[in-house]
Structure 1
């Protein structure tokens, strides 16, 4: 039997994805565990968590050693517990006898710095700069008229800002509690004072705003989910268009975006050159996962967000090594069994590869 542990900040809560995985674990000769990084006893390295009982079809509280294989599904906030959990996960990743299905990605700035060196990827990257001060942001805003600020460690659209030059004024917009809020600064001085305070809270990157509004003035992008299969090869699981609210900023589902199956979106936009778009998408999917693993660490899955601009240019907006699955649940329900089995199948592949390497 192979032991696979799922890392989550909330192991006591019911997770559909984890529950469905657990029901299939026995088919792969895998014992599945569920626990928080904070539940590891530093003196004994024993864990208080949950083990799935396939006979009773439920999770039971257990004490157990650290599993040999780990699937990291932790999502961190700005709180102390998140900081402590991140430190534990970093330590786990440094242990030679522990194997993660995927080792994650660095922050957005480091990703950009490395990928812009790659000729197969750099044409798809929006011009990105690390924010140093308010003066730099103002200079960028004067050049591009509208820019986007996002935290280098941000996720789910948290603390993403749009700055737009309107005459001598600056319009600032962000999304809070699923609604866009905005403020108009009548002068550079008042904007500068507000911005300097914002920049003390976290590190930001900035990019020119790419026009990705559809005919209804809704921002939209394409989310593609890819995973490694039972042979360790990258495979596309599904793709869908995410549409935010009218005149909004975000396309994140957590911010209330709607989902359109990709084939329906193509039908709705039949005048676009879909042959060209598909060719560009194929090039991105062919090179991006490979380059990420070459430059950083092994991965198991990726959510890739791509803007299809009004001029039909394609831009890689974001890469997420812990993607959600809602687009698949809503648009490709017939693939859910494959989705739930994928981490188990890949864990079995890793186990066979490691055993083969040891035997040789």
Structure 2
């Protein structure tokens, strides 16, 4: 029986190469593949005006269809009204018992931290995190560290990330705008307080100490590890890469201009590091983290895990993304692209088989 699977995106009309590559392989898994925006679901009858992939012509065809039983969520939300409406609709879809998502996503950074901070094997890798409830709170945290980072509770791609550090009585704020590093100096606490209060009105921010992840060229860097579930539903690492940001900058996002190199090509650049120790630490963390995330929150399909390796060789989880990009794989591991395109289809097939087995067991009982 053909399995109906839909890809959720806010921009189905765009020519997304990744979605098309998935479509080309859907017939191998006996999957009918659809593409649509949650905003295109008609509330009166739950029909959708979207696209179905035509395997014969390798293209998307406009059509109307019912909500597919399996959904792959690739929606990225902004602050606009449409994004807010779409987010509400996706939450409604996730609550329905007749629909199965490949992955149900992760909550915001604060809920993630609160959920993991008491886990004995994960908490040592979590930077101390607190909410920026007021300007006074931010200044109080700054007094504890040489430099702190402010990041939005639900931010992505390095948006609205600020570094704040003391310089004598003065306070220096640094951020990145349109790919350029912007710096502003305040003469004292009294001068920065109004600026902080106005900033905290715009977003809910978290405060973390600035971790020393600068290389010998004073470029910030981190390790991105991309993991997915295989056709048997087990987690596996697809690839990893080291992202190097701009000199004296804050961000390591590729979208912010960071360069990428393979993990193995990076290792010789840090000869003083104990590579055996690093390998064991990473392996231990990566074997625990996705399983514990699913226990604490919701079922997942894929993860992009950003890890800071500080100068003292300590490891820190910088971020966890349940809708990761694929540039690390396309740039560093092009031989994995084929399995990357098939992975959502194979996992969908696995879920469908599991549900068939469960249904058969219920009937026997």
Q: TM-score range by the shorter chain?
A: over 0.9
Structure 2 equivalent of residue 335 of structure 1? 336
| Matched position secondary structure for 2:93 | helix
TM-score (norm 2): 0.98
Instruction: Please state how far the C-alpha of 1:270 moved relative to its aligned partner.
Output: 2.6
Question: Structure 2: how far apart are the matches of 1:14 and 1:244?
Answer: 29
| Matched position secondary structure for 2:247 | coil
Instruction: Please state how far the C-alpha of 1:165 moved relative to its aligned partner.
Output: 0.5
Question: Structure 2: how far apart are the matches of 1:344 and 1:203?
Answer: 37
Q: Does 1:152 align with 2:141?
A: no
TM-score (norm 1): 0.99
CA-to-partner distance for each residue in 1:241-295, whole Å, 9 max, x for gaps?
0000000000011111100111000122233101000111011111100110001
| Matched position secondary structure for 1:127 | coil
Alignment of 1:242-321 (within 5 A): 242-321=243-322
CA-to-partner distance for each residue in 1:149-199, whole Å, 9 max, x for gaps?
001110000010000100001100111111111100011111001000000
Question: Structure 2: how far apart are the matches of 1:312 and 1:269?
Answer: 10
Q: Does 1:18 align with 2:19?
A: yes
Question: Structure 1: how far apart are the matches of 2:10 and 2:104?
Answer: 17
Question: Structure 1: how far apart are the matches of 2:268 and 2:342?
Answer: 32
Structure 2 equivalent of residue 326 of structure 1? 327
Question: Structure 2: how far apart are the matches of 1:17 and 1:267?
Answer: 33
Instruction: Please state how far the C-alpha of 1:131 moved relative to its aligned partner.
Output: 1.1
Question: Structure 1: how far apart are the matches of 2:48 and 2:172?
Answer: 50
Alignment of 1:74-85 (within 5 A): 74-85=75-86
Question: Structure 2: how far apart are the matches of 1:257 and 1:335?
Answer: 22
Instruction: Please state how far the C-alpha of 1:57 moved relative to its aligned partner.
Output: 1.1
Question: Structure 2: how far apart are the matches of 1:137 and 1:124?
Answer: 22
Structure 1 equivalent of residue 207 of structure 2? 206
| Matched position secondary structure for 1:143 | coil
Gap runs ≥5 in structure 1: none
Structure 2 equivalent of residue 89 of structure 1? 90
Instruction: Please state how far the C-alpha of 1:117 moved relative to its aligned partner.
Output: 1.2
Question: Structure 2: how far apart are the matches of 1:265 and 1:335?
Answer: 20
Instruction: Please state how far the C-alpha of 1:145 moved relative to its aligned partner.
Output: 2.0
Structure 2 equivalent of residue 8 of structure 1? 9
| Matched position secondary structure for 1:200 | helix
CA-to-partner distance for each residue in 1:334-357, whole Å, 9 max, x for gaps?
110001100000000000001100
Question: Structure 2: how far apart are the matches of 1:85 and 1:54?
Answer: 28
| Matched position secondary structure for 1:86 | helix
Q: Does 1:36 align with 2:66?
A: no
Alignment of 1:221-236 (within 5 A): 221-236=222-237
RMSD, matched Cα = 0.6
Question: Structure 2: how far apart are the matches of 1:117 and 1:160?
Answer: 26
Structure 2 equivalent of residue 354 of structure 1? 355
Alignment of 1:30-109 (within 5 A): 30-109=31-110
Instruction: Please state how far the C-alpha of 1:317 moved relative to its aligned partner.
Output: 0.4
Question: Structure 2: how far apart are the matches of 1:48 and 1:284?
Answer: 43
| Matched position secondary structure for 2:223 | strand
Question: Structure 2: how far apart are the matches of 1:231 and 1:7?
Answer: 23
Structure 2 equivalent of residue 116 of structure 1? 117
Alignment of 1:118-197 (within 5 A): 118-197=119-198
Question: Structure 1: how far apart are the matches of 2:181 and 2:351?
Answer: 44
Gap runs ≥5 in structure 2: none
Question: Structure 2: how far apart are the matches of 1:296 and 1:310?
Answer: 32
Instruction: Please state how far the C-alpha of 1:299 moved relative to its aligned partner.
Output: 0.1
Question: Structure 2: how far apart are the matches of 1:83 and 1:274?
Answer: 45
Question: Structure 2: how far apart are the matches of 1:147 and 1:173?
Answer: 11
Question: Structure 2: how far apart are the matches of 1:267 and 1:187?
Answer: 43
CA-to-partner distance for each residue in 1:44-85, whole Å, 9 max, x for gaps?
100000000001111000100000000000000000000000
Instruction: Please state how far the C-alpha of 1:142 moved relative to its aligned partner.
Output: 1.2
CA-to-partner distance for each residue in 1:111-144, whole Å, 9 max, x for gaps?
0011011001000000000111000110111110
Question: Structure 1: how far apart are the matches of 2:131 and 2:277?
Answer: 32
